[in-house]
Amino acid sequence: MKVKRKAVILSSGGIDSTTAMAVARDEGFELYSLSFDYGQRHAVELEAAGRVAEALGARRHLVIRIDLRAIGGSALTTDIAVPHGRSEQELASGIPVTYVPARNTVFLSYALAWAEVLEASDIFIGVNAVDYSGYPDCRPEYIQAFETMANLATKAAVEGKRRIAIRTPLIHMTKAEIIRKGTELGINFQLTHSCYDPDTQGRACGDCDSCLLRKKGFREADIPDPTIYGV
Ligand SMILES: [Zn+2]
């Protein structure tokens, strides 16, 4: 039997990382899902990541605990209020308070370490530079720089055994295109969670930046939004 190639997929339980995982599955990779309990406001996203890993048949789903709350600096890791009801123009300008300092660098570094142990050469991350929140660590030049670093930093790469590829299948797609792609690949987006500020029952608020992008994506894709919004 042919041994399947392995991929590490960073999973937040949201639309983008779930679609990235479905792309990896479609390419025939054995899936190793990686999530972080980093001190984010709500556990619902970790529950979503667990559901997604199970639904997509991940070989393993690893949750690593790191305390970014000790560092703070973001509305997701401190008591800074999450913005609600911002206009499209506001969404498109500047880096919002929901930016978590260096988060993707921290996450990709863990993914790189796990990939080296698994002997995986592909790391999937669902970053997107079109319908995104303005975070600097979602841009192509950042990903390229991380990949260059990864191939200088790991034993397997330096010994010439394995090059690491940071795979960003969604980077040039709109949210609507991502939703269409995920739907084609059989994802039930009801499993996913995007909201930065859910209620105590885990229901999405409907008007934080992440909810607004999600709603716009479903609307533009002309696919019914399965999300349950609170009141
Ligand atoms: Zn929300």
Q: Ligand 1 centroid to 205 CA: how many Å?
A: 4
Whole-number Å distance, alpha carbon 198 to ligand 1 midpoint, is 6
Rounded to two decimals, the pTM is: 0.94
**22 Cα to the center of ligand 1, angstroms:** 24
Could you give the CA distance from residue 137 to residue 185 in angstroms, rounded to a whole number?
A: 26
Distance 25 CA to ligand 1 centre (A): 28
Give the pLDDT mean for 77-82: 85
Cα-to-centroid distance, 206 and ligand 1 (Å)? 5
How many angstroms is it from 75 CA to the middle of ligand 1? 13
Residue 214 CA to ligand 1 center (angstroms) comes to 9
β 122-124/60-65 pair status:
unpaired
What separation in Å is there between the alpha carbon of 113 and the centre of ligand 1? 32
Q: Which of 210, 225, 189 minimizes the C-alpha distance to 52?
A: 189
pLDDT digits 0-9 by tens, 112-148: 999 999 999 999 999 988 766 678 888 899 999 999 9
Condensed to tens digits (0 to 9), the pLDDT of residues 141-188 reads: 999 999 999 999 999 888 988 899 999 999 999 999 999 999 999 999
> Which of 146, 155, 151, 149 shows the shortest CA–CA distance to 117?
155
Between the CA of 95 and the centroid of ligand 1 the distance, in Å, is 17
- What mean pLDDT is reported for the chain? 92
Give the distance (Å) from ligand 1 centre to CA of residue 104: 21
